[in-house]
Amino acid sequence: MVVRAAVLPSVGSPLEITGIRLPEPGPGEVRVRLAAAGVCHSDLSLSDGTMRVPVPAVLGHEGAGTVVSVGEGVAHVAPGDGVVLNWAPSCGVCDHCRAGEVWLCADALSGVGRAHAVTEDGRELHPGLNVAAFAEETVVPARCVLPAPEGVPLTDAALLGCAVLTGYGAVHHSARVRRGESVVVVGVGGVGLAALQAARIAGAGPIVAVDVSPEKEALAKAAGATDFVVASATTAREVRALTGGRGADVAVECVGRAATIRTAWDSTRRGGRTTVVGIGGKDQEVVFNALEIFHWGRTLSGCVYGNSDPARDLPVIAGHVRAGRLDLGALVTDRIGLDQIPEAFANMLAGKGGRALVVF
C-alpha cells in the first residue's frame, strides 16, 4: 500500500512529498494511521544536519493516530485504538533505565537505523526519530506507541508526544518549579508555550516570556506569561527589573543557541536554576568564567525530553487537559497539510508562530 510522506533525501536537501510503501507489521510492530503530527524544531535540526540520522528518512516524531494492525506478540494495543507516538522509548534494562532516568535510555534511538519503508522506486527509508510521523501511516516498534488518554482528541494528543512532555517536564521535573517562584522562559515556540502553561499550573509568578518576535506577546500571555520581553542585549536587565531586581528563580531556555543560553543564565538570580531545553549545534559554544560560576552559585542543567517518563506523565498531563488547566489547542498557530511542512520549517527559522500541526 502506498501512502504519502515527507521524505528527507539527504542532509540539507528540501523535503520531498512523495509516495512510500509500508510493509505489514512484523513481530513486535504496530501500524498506525496518523491523525496529526506536530512540526518540531528537532525536525528542522535533523534536516539541516544539526542532529544526525541515517538518510533518506521520513521525518516527524510528534504524532498520534489510530492502530491499523499489529504484529505477533503485541498485546497492549489493538486495531482501532487511539495511540500517541513515543519517539524515545525506554528499553527498561540499561543503566539509565534501571536508575529511573528513562529519558536518557541508551537504547532509545536504536530504531533509527532500521529500514521501515521504501520509496516507490525501491530505495530504503529510515524513520527519522524512530516513528516517521510525517506520513499518512507508519510502522513502528510496539514500545513506540502509548494508549491515547481518554477525553483528548487525537489531533490534540499529537502534541503530547514532544512539545508538551518536554515543556511540562522541563518545568516540573528538571527545574522543579515551586509555587511562588519567578520563572523566565526564553523562546516562545511550541515547547516554550507548553513551559509557560506548566509554570502557571505550578503556581509560579511572575512568569516572564522572552522572544525575538513582538507578535508572540499575545500567545505568551494567553499561555500564562505575566510579562513579555522582546529579546535584545538588555534582556537580562529587563528580567531582573521584573523580578524585584534579583533575576528569576528559574530560567527555561527553549531555543538552543549560545546567545539565548547565556541570556537565560544571566537572567537567573544568584543561587537560581537555569534549564536548557533547546537543542543546539556543536558550534554553539557558551563561555563562562570561573569567578562568575563561584559568585553566582547558579545551577545549569540540560534537559532531555523534559526529563519525562511518558508512561507516568501522560496520564497526569491528560488530567490537566481535561480539567481545563492545560490548553493544547493554544499551542497550535497553524494547521497544515504535508505539502506545507517546508513552509513551517521556514517559519521556524524566521521565529514565527507557535506549533504547526499537520492534520491528516
Q: What is the pLDDT of residue 181?
A: 98
**Residues 165-216 pLDDT 10s:** 999 999 999 999 999 999 999 999 999 999 999 999 999 999 999 999 999 9
Domains and CATH numbers, the chain: 2-161+327-359 (3.90.180.10), 166-304 (3.40.50.720)
Q: What is the pLDDT of residue 27?
A: 96
**3-class SS at 171?**
helix
Confidence of residue 243 (pLDDT cuts 50, 70, 90): very high
Quote the mean pLDDT of the chain.
94
**Residues 87-139 pLDDT 10s:** 999 999 999 999 999 999 999 998 888 899 999 888 999 998 999 999 999 99
Q: What is the pLDDT of residue 113?
A: 86
Q: What is the pLDDT of residue 51?
A: 83
Whole-model pTM: value is 0.93
Q: What is the pLDDT of residue 251?
A: 98
* Distance in Å from the first CA to the final CA of the chain: 17
Q: What is the DSSP string of 73-130?
A: T--S--TT-EEEE-SS---SSSHHHHTT-GGG-TTTTGGGGS--EEETTS-EEEETTS
Distance from C-alpha of 195 to C-alpha of 324, rounded to nearest angstrom: 16
Answer whether residue 1 shows pLDDT above 90: no
Strand pairing of 2-8 and 57-58? Answer: antiparallel
CB 141 within 8 A of CB 111: yes
**Residues 135-153 pLDDT 10s:** 999 999 999 999 999 999 9
**Residues 281-340 pLDDT 10s:** 889 999 999 999 999 999 999 999 999 999 999 999 999 999 999 999 999 999 999 999
Q: Which residues pair with 230 in a beta bridge?
A: 211
CB 125 within 8 A of CB 57: yes
Confidence of residue 42 (pLDDT cuts 50, 70, 90): confident
Distance from C-alpha of 170 to C-alpha of 167, rounded to nearest angstrom: 5
What percentage of residues in the chain have a pLDDT greater than 90? 86
What percentage of residues in the chain have a pLDDT greater than 70? 100
The residue assigned the cell 538588555 is 234
Distances (CA, A) of 239 to 147, 164, 172, 208, 318: 41, 25, 21, 7, 32
326-335, 341-350, 351-360: which has the highest mean pLDDT? 326-335
Q: What is the pLDDT of residue 219?
A: 94
Q: What is the DSSP string of 210-251?
A: EES-GGGHHHHHHHT-SEEEE-STTHHHHHHHHTTTT-EEEE
User: What dihedral angle (degrees, nearest 10) is formed by the CA atoms of 257, 258, 263, 265?
Assistant: 110
Residues in the chain, total: 360
Confidence of residue 267 (pLDDT cuts 50, 70, 90): very high
Q: What is the pLDDT of residue 349?
A: 85
